[in-house]
Amino acid sequence: MKSMQKHSIVLKINGNNYPIEILPWVSLLDALRENIKLTGTKKGCDHGQCGACTVLVDGKRTLSCLTLAVMKQNTEITTIEGIADDSGLHPVQKAFIEYDAFQCGYCTPGQICSAIGLLSEGKAETREEVQELMSGNLCRCGANKGIIDAVMSIKNNAYE
């Protein structure tokens, strides 16, 4: 039986290049957490149903547990660790704090990445639209009202 060969790839994450060797079936989530040691992205269901693993790939919301790492070369991956910058927290992070949009915090990294992606899509104008477009990110603690309030505060230019 022939052993599987690892692939040498470079992932650009939060503006930095990370050369790694991985098997072809390794998910982006596992590459982030296990190979690169960026553990802010959470593993929830590992089936793409909870959204805890949401990251941004080229600015678009992506479920990293359903994405093969080898397919994400030549893309810009942003994890929760890359959201804030030298000038401070991202406006979405500030809004999550202001509107108490988390309790246990486990889903928060995926919620924040999803909210940033959602806002850049420019689709959601109403609470109902935000609720629908964020429905792939589950909060089992019940902070959904705070999450929607935080996203709507950004829509209403409260944190520019």
41-66 tens-digit pLDDT: 999 999 999 999 999 999 999 999 99
Q: How many domains does the chain have?
A: 2
Residue at token pair 């939060």 = 14
Contact 151, 115 (CB under 8 A): yes
Query: Does residue 77 sit in the same domain as residue 110?
Result: no
CATH of the domain at 122: 1.10.150.120
Query: Does residue 23 sit in the same domain as residue 78?
Result: yes
Residue 160 lies in a domain: no
Query: Does residue 102 sit in the same domain as residue 78?
Result: no
Contacts of 100 (CB under 8 A, 6+ apart): 143, 146
> Is 20 a residue whose pLDDT tops 60?
yes
Classified as helix, coil or strand, 11 is strand
102: its two tokens:
């988390």
Alpha carbon distance 93, 106 (integer Å): 14
Binned at pLDDT 50, 70 and 90, residue 158 comes out as low
Write the single-letter amino acid at 80.
I
Query: Does residue 69 sit in the same domain as residue 95?
Result: no
> Which of 62, 160, 55, 154 lies closest to 110, judged by CA?
55
Q: What per-residue confidence (pLDDT) applies to 3?
A: 64
> Which of 107, 103, 130, 134 lies closest to 45, judged by CA?
107
Q: What per-residue confidence (pLDDT) applies to 8?
A: 96
Sort 3 into a burial class: Cβ within 10 Å, 0-12 / 13-18 / 19+: exposed
Residue 66 lies in a domain: yes
89-139 tens-digit pLDDT: 999 999 999 999 999 999 999 999 999 999 999 888 899 999 999 999 999
Domain that holds residue 44: 7-82
Query: Does residue 99 sit in the same domain as residue 145?
Result: yes
Alpha carbon distance 73, 137 (integer Å): 25
Query: Does residue 59 sit in the same domain as residue 11?
Result: yes
Query: Does residue 101 sit in the same domain as residue 139?
Result: yes
Query: Does residue 77 sit in the same domain as residue 135?
Result: no
Of 23-37, 72-86, 114-128, the range with the lowest mean pLDDT is 114-128
Residue 35 lies in a domain: yes
Residue 2 lies in a domain: no
